Every structure is written in C-alpha cells, then in structure tokens.
Amino acid sequence: MDSADVMPPSASPARRFGRFELRQLLAKSSMSYSWLAFDTASQTEVLMCVPRAQPKSEQEKDAWSQEVLLASRLKHPRLAQVLDIGIHEGWPYAVYERGGAITLQERMQPSHPVPTVLDVVNWTIELLEALAFAHEAGTSHKDLELANVLLDGAGHVRVAGLAVGLALPRSGGMGGQGASAAGSGSRQEQRVAAERDVLMAGLLLHRLLAGHPALDDADFASASLRVGPEIVRLPWNTPQPVAETLRAIVNRATDRQYRQRYLNARTLISALQGWVKANSQESAGPLALIMDRLETVGHLPSRARDMGGILKVFTREELRVDDMVNQIVLDPALAWELLKAVNTARYQMGGNEDPSCSLSRAIVLLGQQGLRKVCGTLRTWPGVLQASSSLQGAEAGENAVTALESELKIACVAGLAARWLRPFNIGDEEAMMAAMSQRLGKLLILYHFPEESAQITRLTLPGPPTENEGKPTPGMTVEAATGAVLGVNPDDLTGAVLRYWGFPEYFVQAARPMSVNVSPRRPEGTGDWLRLTASLANELCELLEQPAARQNMLLTKLMSRYARPALTSQKELVEALQRAVRGVDAGLYRRTFAGAPEPGAAPAAAAAQGHR
C-alpha cells in the first residue's frame, strides 16, 4: 500500500492515534479518512475524520482549524455533535459523537434490509437540510460520503466531517472551476464548494437508489469531478422501482450540464419534498401540493378582464344555452368552475345524479342565479399573478402572466379543435372539456408556481453543444423538468384535481394525454374515443408554435399516428385547427349572439363517417 494511503506511522501497527484506538477504517476518499475509533479517555466509541493529506504549512493548518472550528459551532438537529478538534503529530482531526447511530455505509451492508425509496429520499432531504444550514453559515462539507452520514435509532440523519477534507492537487471542478481550498473565504469559492456539495448529495442519492456508485467510483468527491465529461444516469434495474418523477430529480441532480443541475441545497430539498408529498397517502397525493391554494385563491383566473361584463352577457333574455356554451368554452376557468359546482354533493341529491361533464346541463341546473354566483367566485385576470409580479419583479411577473395567457389560449384552441374532430358517438362538450383538461395540470403549475414554472422552462431549453460546432444538447421534456422541479407529473396533478372536483373516472382517464411514443389503437369505448380525440386536438396545437417548414413534418407525423384509429385526413386536421384559432381569436364575450350556429358548425372529419 502506498504511504499516502495510510494514517501516520504512529497509527500502525498499534492502531493508536493519541488517546484514540483506531478500530476500523470506514472510508478513504481523495480528501479524508473516516475511522471508527474508541476514546480511551471517555470510554466511548466515536467517529473520527482526518484529512487525507497533512497541511503543508502553518498557514494552511490554521486555515483548516478555523474552518472546522466554525463548522463545529453550528447547531442543527441534522449535524453531528463535535466532541474534539485537534492535531496529533502534524495530523489534524475532528471527533464526532456516535452514540447508538450507524453510518449509511453500515446501513447499506447486505446484513441490513434494502431501504425503501421513501426512506432514501427522506434521508437525503435531512442530509440536504444540514448542508443548506452550513452553506448559509458560510461553510461547506467538501467530502460527503456514506461513512460520515450517521443514522440514529429513529432513522434520522446526522452529518459529520463538515469542512474536514483537504483537497489533493488535481485538475477539474465545478463548471470548469477548481474545488475551493480549505479555509478559503471568498464568496466565489464558497459558492463553488456549496454547489459541489449538492452534486455530491445527488451522487449519494444515486448510490442509495441504484445499489452501486455512479461511474463505479465510491468516492463522491472524486466522482463529482468526473460529472460533465462523463454522463451519470440512474439505471433502470434498481433494487426498488423508482418513479419517473423521482428519476428525473436524481438525474437532474447529477446532470452533465452544469446549468441543468440543482445549484443550491434548498432547490433540491423542494423538489424531493414535492415528490414525497405527491406520493404520500397521508397528504392526499399530488393534490397536497396545491390544495391550500385551490381553496384560498381558486384554481385559475378568468380570461375576462371584466366580470361585470360576463354577468351582463349571461343574463340577456334572448341568449340561448348553446350561445352561452360557445362563450364559456373560451374561458376555461369558468368552464371548470361550472362543472365543479354541479358535481358537488348539493347538486347530487341522494346520489341519484351522475357526475356531469356537460356545460349545457350545468347551465340548466344552476340557472341564472347559480351562474351569477359561480361567476362571482372567479378572480379577474391575472388573479394572484398580479401580486406575485411585484414580488418577482416586473419582468418575471410579466413573463408569468404572458405564459399563462398563452397556455389558456392554446387550451381553448384545443377544445374547439376537438369539437370539430369528434366522432358522433361522443358529445361535443365532453370533447371540448377533455381536450382542455389535458392541459389543466400545466395551467395550475403556471398559475400557482410561477417561479418554478420559469425554472421548468429553462430546463426544457436546448443547451450548448458538447463539442465544437456540434448540435445543441437537447433540454428535458416538460414532464421530466416538472418532475425535477416540483416532484410531480402534471398529468397526475390533473387527475387528482379532477377527482377532487367530482368528475367521473372515465373523464379523468380521458384527461391524460396519450403517449406520443406509442401509436394509438382504435378505441373500443366512449371513454377511449374521448381520450383519443382530446389527445389528437392537443398534439395538433403544437403546430401553432412551429415555423411553416416544420408544420408539414408534424402533420405527417400526426397522420401516421392517428389516421387509422381516428379515420381522419390531413385536410380535416388543418381545417379543424384553423377554425379553432378563428373561434378563439374572435375574442372572449365579444361575438354576436344571432341564435344560429356558425356556418358548418357540425363536426368536420367527414372521412370518419365509418365510425360515427
């Protein structure tokens, strides 16, 4: 064994280090040693952390002592208690209380049961809470490893080894920057060290879930310098199944692109806590993330700027129910609020009434007074985003409002397109609402989490090429980015909210978009037709944001997926989209109410007559 790989000569062969007996070398990284030791003075078992290299000068020794002393003064439930800091024969050391705790390294041995995914995530959250506290106090860990993370009898984490490691000279680092030296006090170096801590926490999370270390390197300090030049992705054959949203979080934490990673511990904590809430039965599933805000500020704001104008329109005597439906579908917030109202228990006397997805029926059941009351519960545009704009700054607030407005408009276009594309065996109002509902989760996130939405958008943008003159690196999918930031899938959020509002289960299933990676089969039942039509309408709306040259390619792709199951043609798709855009662009509550349908108002897609 190389002399650099052993403790000072006094530690061998007697295995003594001052008053301590070194009983077991738990871990050896590029920056430190972790020993299970016995304190002969107090007659207790302790954890000892020693730098891998001796300080080369008195100045370096003093800097190490100052930073470890600063770390030892931090008091936090997730930080292990420091019992002693000293120097023995030129080797600095820090001693931590072990008590009845075991290290994560010991916990992961085959003699212990494989931890559940939820256990692993909760351990990581507590670990990150300790790191966040240390970072905010101006220090960092520098050498996170399984051997310096302790688990007490209650399964809670305590972190040892804070600021102990001394870096050996080597190249590489975070974002092209070298690791900070011990005792360095500049803000830039502190930031780089904190970011590297978060990356090492991501590698630790990867290790616990995968059952083996990323890049086959058990030294997280060493592996963190290889992330970027080398790709780290959580394998599919994990000991316990890992949900897609959690997988996105783990992969983002170790992403090869510096800009894609979590750059501070709090953001990673937020994502993991979101996943825990979304997958906890006690917290009512994904709905727990947004329930409080649904109750206090409503689900979405009305697209209308003047609620008084809405009421005047809907109280006109000559207005027919069909005319009202044509207007309500242009205001998704009002449409969902109406259906939510009629699906509550007070409108289902004795449980004899089935849940309704028909706007016409909702209008009839509610009447003018009920309609007026529902309109009164909605917030005018842009709702709570007006207040959040002042908190985020003018530009960020304006971007949040613009993003929500754009998504609401696309939802309306999708609804109208589904109306023209629907087969006769499903209702036009159900088709419209199903298409709009496939965007409900994204709309709720845009409205209630504007800062996180901006972060999600950034993650979906392409990154710089990995090679000179190469192609840009693809960004994340919206689903993966949402999972990485909030810990939930927007489609799961949609389903949870619709169930809470009392929508029937067949409609909840129809509100989940079909996978774009699998060609849909010919539907068998009404619910399947509803989902197929809504998915087709929403995929058709992707053309709105594409240049003309790319639209033909997307149309061809749509036809290859939907021509056979939906029995539609490219001409019908284009006409349905154009007609939907014209209907939405006509303006909310500004069209005339002649009492007659628009020319050609019957559903298009004549080629689909065979299945209608």
pLDDT > 90: percent of the chain:
44
Determine if residue 43 is left, alpha or beta; phi over 0 gives left, psi from -120 to 50 gives alpha, anything else beta: left
Tokens for 78, please give them.
Answer: 């997730």
The strand ranges marked E within 427-518 are none
H or E element, residue 392: helix 385-392
Could you read off the pLDDT of 581-609 as tens digits, one per residue?
999 987 554 432 233 333 333 333 333 33
Tokens for 237, please give them.
Answer: 């054959």
How many other β-carbons are positioned within 10 Å of the β-carbon of residue 184?
15
Could you read off the pLDDT of 310-327 as tens digits, one per residue?
666 676 766 788 888 888
For residues 316 and 309, what is the distance between their CA atoms, to the nearest angstrom? Answer: 11
Instruction: Give me the half-sphere count of Cα atoms (radius 13 Å) on the Cβ side of residue 55.
Output: 21
pLDDT > 70: percent of the chain:
82
For residues 556 and 547, what is the distance between their CA atoms, to the nearest angstrom? Answer: 15
The reported pLDDT for the residue numbered 10 is 46
The reported pLDDT for the residue numbered 347 is 45
Question: According to DSSP H, which parts of 152-284 are helical?
Answer: 187-210, 220-224, 244-253, 265-278
Determine the straight-line distance between the first and last CA of the chain, rounded to whole angstroms. 79
Cα-based torsion angle of the residue sequence 234, 274, 494, 365 in order, rounded to the nearest 10 degrees: 170
For residues 78 and 559, what is the distance between their CA atoms, to the nearest angstrom? Answer: 56
Could you read off the pLDDT of 214-224 as tens digits, one per residue?
999 999 999 99
369 neighbors 315 (Cβ within 8 angstroms): no
The reported pLDDT for the residue numbered 309 is 64
Long-range residue pairs from 104-110, CB within 8 A, at least 24 positions apart, any chain? 104/146, 104/147, 104/149, 104/150, 104/151, 104/204, 104/208, 105/26, 105/27, 105/145, 105/146, 105/147, 106/26, 107/151, 108/146, 108/208
In angstroms, what CA-CA distances link 379 with 333, 337, 498?
Answer: 9, 11, 20
The reported pLDDT for the residue numbered 36 is 93
137 neighbors 74 (Cβ within 8 angstroms): yes
As to burial, measured by CB atoms within 10 angstroms (0-12 exposed, 13-18 middle, 19+ buried), residue 191 is middle
Q: Give phi and psi for 600, each to the nearest 5.
A: 70, 30
The reported pLDDT for the residue numbered 151 is 95
pLDDT band at 388 (very low <50, low <70, confident <90, very high): low
Determine if residue 284 is left, alpha or beta; phi over 0 gives left, psi from -120 to 50 gives alpha, anything else beta: left
The average confidence (pLDDT) of the chain is 83
Q: Between helices 428-437 and 332-342, what is the axis angle to 10°?
A: 110
159 neighbors 131 (Cβ within 8 angstroms): yes
Could you read off the pLDDT of 551-572 as tens digits, one per residue?
888 888 888 888 888 778 888 9
Flag the least confident range among 142-151, 258-267, 270-279: 270-279
For residues 205 and 122, what is the distance between their CA atoms, to the nearest angstrom? Answer: 10
299 neighbors 503 (Cβ within 8 angstroms): no
Average of per-residue pLDDT across 141-153: 94
H or E element, residue 50: strand 44-51
Residue type at 606 in one-letter notation:
A
The reported pLDDT for the residue numbered 100 is 86
The reported pLDDT for the residue numbered 609 is 31
Flag the least confident range among 326-340, 379-393, 516-530: 379-393
24 neighbors 32 (Cβ within 8 angstroms): no
Highest mean pLDDT among 166-175, 365-374, 386-395, 398-407: 398-407
3-state helix, strand, coil in the chain (%, to 5): 55, 10, 35
Could you read off the pLDDT of 70-121 as tens digits, one per residue?
999 999 999 999 999 999 988 999 999 998 899 999 999 988 888 999 999 9
Where do we find the tokens 């499903």? 426
How many other β-carbons are positioned within 10 Å of the β-carbon of residue 596?
10
In angstroms, what CA-CA distances link 569 with 7, 322, 421, 555?
Answer: 76, 28, 10, 10
Q: What's the length of the chain?
A: 612
Tokens for 427, please give them.
Answer: 């209702």
485 neighbors 510 (Cβ within 8 angstroms): no
Flag the least confident range among 151-160, 199-208, 573-582, 592-601: 592-601
487 neighbors 277 (Cβ within 8 angstroms): yes
Could you read off the pLDDT of 487-502 as tens digits, one per residue?
888 898 898 888 888 8
The reported pLDDT for the residue numbered 501 is 85
For residues 126 and 133, what is the distance between their CA atoms, to the nearest angstrom? Answer: 11
pLDDT band at 354 (very low <50, low <70, confident <90, very high): low
Local structure of 151: helix, strand or coil: strand
200-235 as b/e: b if 16+ CB within 10 A: bbbbbbbbbbbeebbbebbbbbbbbbbbbeeebebe
pTM score:
0.69
420 neighbors 575 (Cβ within 8 angstroms): yes
